[in-house]
Structure 1
Amino acid sequence: MSGSLLNQPLLVMTNVPEQALADSLARALVEQGLAACVNVLAPVASTYRWQGAIEHATEIPVLVKTTQARYLEVEQAILQAHPYDVPEIVALPLATGLPAYLAWMQQETAKPARV
């Protein structure tokens, strides 16, 4: 993958079942340099089909601002923390945005992982 594609800013979205998990995941991703910023949103009502049954759950949406270069590490961090068998982890490329903000995202996620 070329350097410019690795710098592609991404918005990674997931939902978690508890506020404490959302908060700890957000902090860990930023502390480790995997995300420039993580937004933990208000709880939402989710309706979905799982194993043939319609399910309803209250979930906490988590929005992760990162880059393509860090996506796999973000995905692994979410998978390790997440209690669901198949958590929602989707990423959208950011086609445009305030150049200074996008540069900040790249700068924050380009740093080596912090311990």
Structure 2
Amino acid sequence: MASIVIAQTTVDDEAKAYDIGRGAVEARLAAGVHVDARMTVFYWWKDTVQHEREYRLSFKTTAEKVAELEAWIHERHPYEVPQWIVLPVTASTQEYLAWAAKETRTE
């Protein structure tokens, strides 16, 4: 059985978040994507603390698809240095794992 991961990125535009999320599912690179409500983020960029409003996207995908998803995201991401964090899923039901594997299969 495939293992799944949660991969995350952020964007500052709601429409772009929806486009990336839907596109990743349509391309079968993610079984599902959560677009979280707008949040506030503080971070260092070019020697200055920045303050922005962003949307976090959480992609549910398989470990086997995560590199392909990362490349796909980076081709479409509006940021110079996009956040890309991959979190292992350490526990899940077999049914959920099977669903994620099925929905990211392209053959």
Gaps of 5+ in 1: none
Written as runs of structure 1 = structure 2, the 5 A alignment for 1:82-101 is 82-101=77-96
Q: 1:65 aligns with which of 60, 64, 89?
A: 60
| Matching residue of 2:106 | 111
Written as runs of structure 1 = structure 2, the 5 A alignment for 1:1-115 is 7-112=2-107
Identify the structure with the greater helix proportion. Answer: 1
1:110 partner SS: coil
- The structural deviation recorded for 1:98 is 2.0
1:111 partner SS: coil
Determine what percentage of the aligned residue pairs are the same residue. 34
Gaps of 5+ in 2: none
- Corresponding pairs, count: 107
- The structural deviation recorded for 1:76 is 1.2
Output the amino acid matched with 2:3.
Answer: Q
Structure 1 residue runs of 4+, over 6 Å off?
none
- The structural deviation recorded for 1:24 is 0.6
2:65 partner SS: helix
Contact 2:40 2:54 in 1 (8 A): yes
